[in-house]
Amino acid sequence: MTDQGNELRTGTGSERNEDDPAPRIRLRDRDTELRSVEAAVDRLCREFAAGGTEIGELLAFSGRPGIGKTSLLHEVRRIASLREGATVLFARGGERQFKEPYHVLRQLLQPVLTQLEPDEFGQVMGTWEEVVGPAMGLKQPKAGARRLDPQGVRDGLDYVLTQLAPRRAPMVMIVDDLHWADAESLSWLAKFAVRSGELPVLLVFAFREDESDWPTETQDLRRGVLNLASRKHELSRLTLNSVTDMIRAELGDRAEDAFCYEFWNVVNGNPFEAVALLDQVRDQELEPVEENSRQLRELAVDATGMTLKSWLDRLGPATLRFAWACAMLGTDIRIDLVTRISTQSAEAARESIKQLRKQRVLTQSPNGNLEFVHPLIASSIYNTMPEATRLGMHGISAVEIENAGLGLLAASRHLVETHSGEGDDRIVKKLRRAAVEHQLIGAPEAAQRCLHRALNEPPADDIKAEVMYELGCSALLTDPVATVNQLKLALDPDEGPLRPELRVDATFRLSEVLAHSGELGQAALVCQKEAEQTPDPVRRQRLQAASFMWHAFRKSEEDGPGRSARLAELYENLTGREAADR
């Protein structure tokens, strides 16, 4: 087969020049988009060379699945990497990883930050190293560190990029599959895109145009990012001439016009579907003549259906299991890790990889790991897994990821997907630890997912209230309604015992959320009632002080003089020497 034919068959471009970080891809019907990319990169590099600094902009590419967004971004990477002195950062959102905190930002920033010399690293990080370092996976949080406010992490990232961009300018930051970017990364990207024009940075994003493909939790953030784009391109379907050229490059000039026209109609000009159907035509040895064109629709169903049966027929059970393990990991698939998850020997894994590459399911990434040829294939493989198999493999993945030293943060997205209802104390313990670690990197939503899953396990009766307390604390002021509900449940004796020191803290936190929600009277009453049944004088005093504080903030109250008298009575017994007194 010719190099051109191989390129068309893989759909990603298998040829790789060692001097290029990304494969050279032959793109069809993308002249307008490529001119826009060339112009944006030219402007960035030219104006930076002339001393410009506030020269950034945002390019956005949208289109339906399989339309060629990833191939276009590969070409953007190639174009940018050929510019002298340019720094090219790349990341990809993952359907399986959109709930993994900072997944996209870690892909973007880890490579460039880890290459900095120690002195330069210190200058780039400044005073934010203990905040940004753990969030970006560059270091572990310090023992006993306080949980981070997500806004604090975003502020730290702003500082780091403000320092990094001029040192590595001109900089091109590319994010593929933005519709699957995790909320933590997307939240920062949305803010950074607003001020990217103040830096020598070109942002290039690609995403699916149909909002039904976007996770509902982050749709507003995505819209906000895309509204900032100075150049927006919606990728159109391939023309009849382009599809005809593809067919004849693969099957020869004997392909008749009528056959090519029906082929184009069937795939609706979609490059991914065109490549898949070409594979079917070739495998079936179908002559590309007009009388065979009526069979194309039936072949297209087989080509794009990708059902469990079709994958079994193509791959066999052992190779399919290896593919399922790859789908567990999503992007940047480590061969040693997926081998253990699939419970295959090293030799069997090599054979599976060989088969999956032959079938255009997997390809090798520049760093030597594996990746799916297309996200649609990854989704198809994952979705064909029987439920019991999927739940079991998530459990295996969590264990193997932790055993590989990647930590609970990486394992936790699999733990939350495992089968619940077993009452496994080890699972509950790990989920609670993972929740703590998520809060230490400023990812409270991920912590909440872990704690919700821990409650579904369920935890033992003697710690159930503690887990509810931790869940309420993880949300705090970001979700007042959820926080109030969880803390009230934690304080409910029917849900199980809560240690005295936690009861006091839970009560204070509940009053804090009520006060921030405008319920100052209720906040004071909650502390007052709990104080009346708290035997420990120090803890009781804390609640009494809180009750007085919330009363003081009220614009009106029923018994102002009485409150003043009670406050004076409390004050008489205080020395001021103890922290609780003060």
**Residue 95 above 80 pLDDT?**
yes
Mean pLDDT across the chain: 87
- Bridge partners (DSSP) listed for residue 62: 207, 234
**Residue 218 above 70 pLDDT?**
no
pLDDT (average), residues 327-349: 94
Single-letter residue type at 227: N
Q: What is the model's pLDDT at position 573?
A: 67
**Residue 7 above 70 pLDDT?**
no
At 111, list the tokens: 């490579």
The SS3 call for residue 215 is coil
pLDDT band at 224 (very low <50, low <70, confident <90, very high): confident
Q: What is the model's pLDDT at position 64?
A: 92
CA–CA separation, 51 vs 40, rounded Å? 17
**Residue 9 above 50 pLDDT?**
no
Helix, strand, coil content of the chain in percent (nearest 5): 65, 5, 30
Any idea which residue has 């406010």 for tokens? Answer: 149
CA–CA separation, 55 vs 53, rounded Å? 6
For the entire predicted model, the pTM comes to 0.85
pLDDT band at 10 (very low <50, low <70, confident <90, very high): very low
pLDDT band at 140 (very low <50, low <70, confident <90, very high): confident
Q: What is the model's pLDDT at position 22?
A: 38
* DSSP tally for the chain: helices H, then strands E: 28, 7
Q: What pLDDT, in 10s, does the model give residues 493-521?
A: 888 889 999 999 999 999 999 988 889 98
Tell me which of 13 and 147 has the higher pLDDT.
147
Tell me which of 229 and 18 has the higher pLDDT.
229
Tell me which of 394 and 230 has the higher pLDDT.
394
